[in-house]
């Protein structure tokens, strides 16, 4: 009977992947699949218990909700626009290094503004016209912005970092210290690969738009521009044992929001509303996926799939590294989101990482980074569609230019972390 359960579970997983590729609501699909597996196993409460348990994971909720609250404050105060405009001013002067400069600049901005689609919209609206105006092919210009949208891996509040930290029993900054080399290397590889492709296909200069392109960056208030990096700076300095700055992610985000209020002198009422609106959206969107993934894994546990997967990897240790890296990577490519696959993998497998001789932080990090790299070369990723729309090109043209760099980056990251 157990073999029949496993077969049924595999069929359900294949169906889940199919519906994710079709862009059906990810939370609904994960919850439905998890509940169906639990029902087949005769233990529906395992799915419901997983839902309830994951709803109140303290460290995750505090970090993720406060970061999104701060992000909404940055949008309301327009500090994010000033930060992007400040960087764009320097980008115009980079000449030969315009393309890699745009990738790295987007990467750095995405650390402070940890939303791929949000960063793509804010940065793309300014960087893409700047590059097109300098003669860069629109598809390359869009790809350059897209290639930097996984810099958020270095933000302590990004959902994956506290999630992995919870599994490993460490702090989010400890997770970042482990994968930072692989993450930065991936960003550099993406920038170099895209630049080489632009040179090979002569897309780095000479493009002339049929319509006038507005490449002005707008007026910049330096104080406004510096506000988005304050919470990250506080957390980094606090981790180096600067006593007055030792604090958690929520405290740093609230301090950042208060500084934004002081600097911009916006309405305290509207700023407070923006912060809590961001928190609510974070719970519904980001925590929602984490909760749904927990239900999915609860069903896998009930039906025996997790045990079967762990046993398979114990018998073939050589597949562990590939599964951890390219499982989330491929689903990120075909579904446009690396989050669902990374969360499901880390919920199901990463707690057992030491059985395979791998540190849980390393395994969790490569799953999260692999998913992020995969969706950065996906034509149906939200961020891809955003930058393609700004550049007025087909999303596939953007995705295929990023593909070589993201594949190489995934392999290098796997070697570094595993």
- Maximum separation of any 2 CA atoms in the chain, in Å: 68
> What pLDDT, on a 0 to 100 scale, did the predictor assign at position 87?
86
pLDDT band at 210 (very low <50, low <70, confident <90, very high): low
Mean pLDDT of 3-15: 89
Query: CB atoms < 10 A from the CB of 244, how many?
Result: 8
- By percentage, how much of the chain surpasses pLDDT 90? 57
> What pLDDT, on a 0 to 100 scale, did the predictor assign at position 217?
53
pLDDT above 80: residue 408: yes
Structure token digits, residue 138: 């629109």
pLDDT band at 1 (very low <50, low <70, confident <90, very high): low
Q: Which residue has the higher pLDDT, 369 or 418?
A: 369
HSE-up of residue 195 (Cα within 13 Å, Cβ side): 16
* Global pTM exceeds 0.75: yes
> What pLDDT, on a 0 to 100 scale, did the predictor assign at position 100?
96
pLDDT above 90: residue 244: no
Question: Taking each helix axis from N to C terminus, what angle separates 98-112 and 79-91, rounded to the nearest 10 degrees?
Answer: 160
**Among candidates 318, 368, 391, 6, which has minimal Cα distance to 178?**
368
pLDDT digits (tens, 9 = 90+) for 16-31: 888 887 878 889 999 9
Mean pLDDT of 228-232: 91
- Is-contact 145 128, C-beta < 8 A? yes
Rounded Cα distance, 97 and 364, in Å: 34
- Is-contact 299 59, C-beta < 8 A? no
**Among candidates 340, 336, 329, which has minimal Cα distance to 367?**
329
Rounded Cα distance, 132 and 173, in Å: 37
> What pLDDT, on a 0 to 100 scale, did the predictor assign at position 334?
83
**Among candidates 35, 61, 42, which has minimal Cα distance to 297?**
35
Rounded Cα distance, 14 and 309, in Å: 15
Our CA dihedral for 192, 200, 335, 304, rounded to 10 degrees, sits at -60
pLDDT digits (tens, 9 = 90+) for 99-128: 999 999 999 999 988 889 889 988 998 899
Structure token digits, residue 401: 């230019």
Mean pLDDT of the chain: 90
Q: Which residue has the higher pLDDT, 312 or 287?
A: 287
> What pLDDT, on a 0 to 100 scale, did the predictor assign at position 161?
96
pLDDT digits (tens, 9 = 90+) for 34-44: 999 999 999 99
**Among candidates 413, 189, 193, which has minimal Cα distance to 322?**
413
Mean pLDDT of 274-301: 91
Mean pLDDT of 296-320: 83
Q: Which domain holds residue 290?
A: 2-417
Q: What is the DSSP string of 334-375?
A: HHS-SHHHHHHHHHHTGGGGGGGT--HHHHHHHHHHHHHHHH
pLDDT above 60: residue 215: no
Mean pLDDT of 363-376: 96
> What pLDDT, on a 0 to 100 scale, did the predictor assign at position 213?
47
Instruction: Rank 292-301, 335-344, 357-366 by mean pLDDT and report only the highest.
Output: 357-366
> What pLDDT, on a 0 to 100 scale, did the predictor assign at position 212?
45
Mean pLDDT of 48-57: 90
> What pLDDT, on a 0 to 100 scale, did the predictor assign at position 39?
95
Q: SS3 for 402?
A: helix
> What pLDDT, on a 0 to 100 scale, did the predictor assign at position 84?
87
pLDDT above 90: residue 260: yes
> What pLDDT, on a 0 to 100 scale, did the predictor assign at position 45?
94
The domain total for the chain is 1
Give me the residue label for tokens 């930065």: 184
Rounded Cα distance, 387 and 290, in Å: 27
């Amino acid at each position: 009977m157990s073999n029949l359960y496993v077969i049924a579970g595999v069929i359900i997983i294949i169906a889940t992947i199919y519906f994710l590729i079709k862009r059906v609501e990810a939370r609904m699909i994960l919850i439905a699949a998890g509940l169906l597996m639990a029902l087949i196993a005769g233990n529906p409460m395992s799915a419901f218990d997983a839902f309830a348990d994951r709803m109140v994971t303290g460290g995750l909720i505090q970090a993720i909700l406060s970061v999104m609250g701060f992000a909404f404050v940055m949008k309301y105060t327009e500090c994010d626009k000033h930060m992007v405009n400040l960087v764009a001013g320097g980008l115009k002067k980079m000449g030969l290094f315009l393309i890699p400069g745009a990738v790295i600049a987007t990467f750095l901005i995405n650390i402070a503004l940890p939303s791929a689609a949000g960063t793509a919209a804010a940065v793309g609206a300014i960087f893409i016209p700047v590059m097109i105006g300098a003669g860069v092919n629109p598809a390359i210009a869009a790809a350059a912005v897209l290639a930097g949208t996984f810099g958020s891996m270095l933000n302590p509040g990004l959902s994956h970092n506290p999630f992995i930290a919870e599994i490993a029993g460490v702090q989010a900054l400890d997770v970042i210290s482990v994968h930072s080399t692989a993450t930065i290397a991936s960003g550099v590889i993406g920038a170099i690969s895209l630049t080489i492709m632009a040179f090979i296909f002569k897309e780095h200069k000479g493009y002339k738009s049929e319509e006038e392109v507005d490449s002005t960056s707008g007026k910049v208030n330096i104080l406004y521009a510096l506000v988005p990096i304050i919470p990250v700076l506080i957390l980094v300095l606090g981790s180096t044992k600067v006593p007055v700055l030792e604090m958690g992610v929520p405290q740093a985000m609230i301090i950042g929001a208060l500084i934004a209020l002081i600097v911009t002198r916006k309405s305290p009422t509207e700023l407070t509303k923006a912060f809590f609106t961001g928190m609510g959206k974070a719970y519904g969107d980001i925590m929602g996926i984490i909760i749904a993934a927990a239900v999915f894994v609860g069903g896998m546990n009930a039906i025996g799939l997790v045990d079967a997967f762990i046993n398979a990897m114990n018998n073939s240790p050589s597949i562990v590294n590939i599964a951890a890296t390219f499982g989330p990577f491929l689903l990120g490519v075909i579904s446009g989101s690396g989050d669902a696959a990374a969360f499901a993998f880390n919920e199901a497998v990463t707690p057992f990482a030491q059985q395979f001789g791998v540190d849980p932080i390393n395994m969790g990090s490569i799953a999260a980074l692999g998913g992020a790299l995969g969706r950065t070369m996906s034509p149906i990723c939200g961020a891809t569609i955003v930058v393609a729309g700004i550049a007025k090109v087909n999303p596939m043209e953007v995705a295929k230019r990023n593909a070589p760099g993201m594949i190489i980056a995934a392999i290098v990251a796997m070697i570094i972390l595993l």
